[in-house]
Chain A
Amino acid sequence: MNTAIKFRNAYVLNSGFRLQWEKAQDSYVLLYPEGMVQLSFSASEVLLLCDGKNTAAEVITVLEEKFPDAEGLAVDVKEFLQEAIDNGWLE
């Protein structure tokens, strides 16, 4: 079954997933077997930090430092991470 996010876990893209900058689309895309998702700016900021070294808590801290004016950022990032885990993008 799907698992809930653990803040001490360092998440990384699942095997077969690739994050790539696409000039033509002027955005990051997430590529996986026969599939593709165009990422919003904030989604790509989060996924770029999921390198298997940063813990989920650290991802949030880094982004809070980077975007001090963004309100409710921690909640948004947490929700997105949970979604990414549920979708099988992150492990």
Chain B
Amino acid sequence: MAGSNKDNAKISLADSGRPLWLVSELSYRCPLQCSYCSNPVDFSRHKAELNTEQWVDVFKQARELGTVQLGFSGGEPAVRKDLEELIQEARAMGFYTNLITSMVGVSEARLGRILDSGIDHIQVSFQAADASLNDLIAGTECFEHKIKMCKAIKAAGLPMVLNVVIHKGNIDQIEQIIQFAEELDADYLELATAQYYGFALLNRDRLLPSRAQLTRAEKIAKQYQDSLAGKMKIFYIIPDYYEKKPKPCMHGWGKVFLTVAPDGTALPCHSARELPGIDFPNVVGNNLSDIWYESSAFNHFRGDHWMKETCRSCPEKDKDFGGCRCQAYLLAQDAEEADPACEKSPHHHLMEEAISASEAKPFGEGLIYRNSANSKLFLK
């Protein structure tokens, strides 16, 4: 489940500078083909995967650095046969373990083993509130199965967290999605905007909702947030294309988050490997403390020394850190520029243009699905 994001992670603490959050992308393999996947479009180039021992070693080092939250993500983390073992090891070290999964390919018996391994929280992704749209978006039949799995998670006494990536194709269903989550007795519902990196960026014209769609959805989400307060927590995140201020991406580069890609590449954020000219260190052969504190990659966008004048002279820079580096690079072709989502950015017009371009295109037809055939097209 690489469609949503961790920008909404709920962290409140005195600024520590420690990697409090480790996202372990266990594998880029995935049975789904979501067109909003934020995995790198050339993911099929990175086939190598760390083995069990190597992951356990990464967890150990992270724990020593003070990491508390551990996410198992991907691709689909459950494609790894050693998932249970990894959870067990991590749990024993004192991590709070989060599994971010589509549940596709996970049998009931397997879920039982995952629950037994001591997982603290399982987040199940849905694509829509009804079988036909869900399965169309996912590129596979999985709706009924997901429902069954959610019930089993709840029965095991774990919080039930549903995540739905919201885009042009399902945003008008927002009310049904919320009601569906309520029927399932979910504790949390994350209505997360697609993040326009990787495949999602390729498909942006066909995914980005219109202003009218957003306004309507926001109103509905707000109503339910109020009426369901104390029962189900709804997180609703709108695309920053419609904002005037950028989001404080990853709470700052190399400040809280550490992502380790399937092949062991250490990244300050899961899409950072798309940035040119930065040599991201691998956990094989480098110790994690050096990577976090010393490596040039993790220091690259720390602080404000790298900023262009727009951000450097701006009072907001300690709050939003100039926004997202990947978005600056992908849209403004300059990773050191202000995030174009910012109205002060000289490239802010790109956001407006993207919105207009997407209003002209319908959802569906022409979407590029995330699969290895399409990924190979992007290998140069």
Contact residues, A1-53 vs B (CB, 8 A): 1-3, 14-16, 18, 20, 22, 24-25, 29, 31-38
Chain A interface: which size bin? 20 to 34
Indicate if the CB atoms of B120 and A38 lie closer than 8 Å: no
Q: Knowing A16-B120, A16-B121, say if A33 contacts B161 (CB, 8 Å).
A: yes
Chain B residue with the shortest CB-CB distance to A16? B159
Main secondary structure of the interface of B (DSSP, over half): loop
B13 at interface by CB-CB < 8 Å: yes
Q: Which of B33-41, B62-70, B281-289, B339-347 contacts A (4 or more CB under 8 A)?
A: B62-70
B314 at interface by CB-CB < 8 Å: no
Q: Knowing A15-B159, A16-B159, say if A88 contacts B230 (CB, 8 Å).
A: yes
Chain B interface: which size bin? 20 to 34
B188 at interface by CB-CB < 8 Å: yes
CB-defined contacts of A18 to chain B, threshold 8 Å: 96, 120
B355 at interface by CB-CB < 8 Å: no
Among A29, A31, A34, A36, the one with the most B-chain Cβ atoms within 10 Å of its Cβ is: A34
Q: Which of B3-11, B137-145, B215-223 contacts A (4 or more CB under 8 A)?
A: B3-11
Indicate if the CB atoms of B96 and A31 lie closer than 8 Å: yes
* Cβ-closest 3 pairs across A and B: A24-B66, A16-B159, A35-B10
Question: Could you show 16 A-B contacts with beta carbons less than 8 Å apart?
Answer: A2-B229, A16-B159, A18-B96, A20-B96, A22-B66, A25-B66, A31-B120, A34-B6, A34-B69, A34-B121, A35-B11, A35-B69, A36-B10, A36-B69, A88-B230, A88-B233
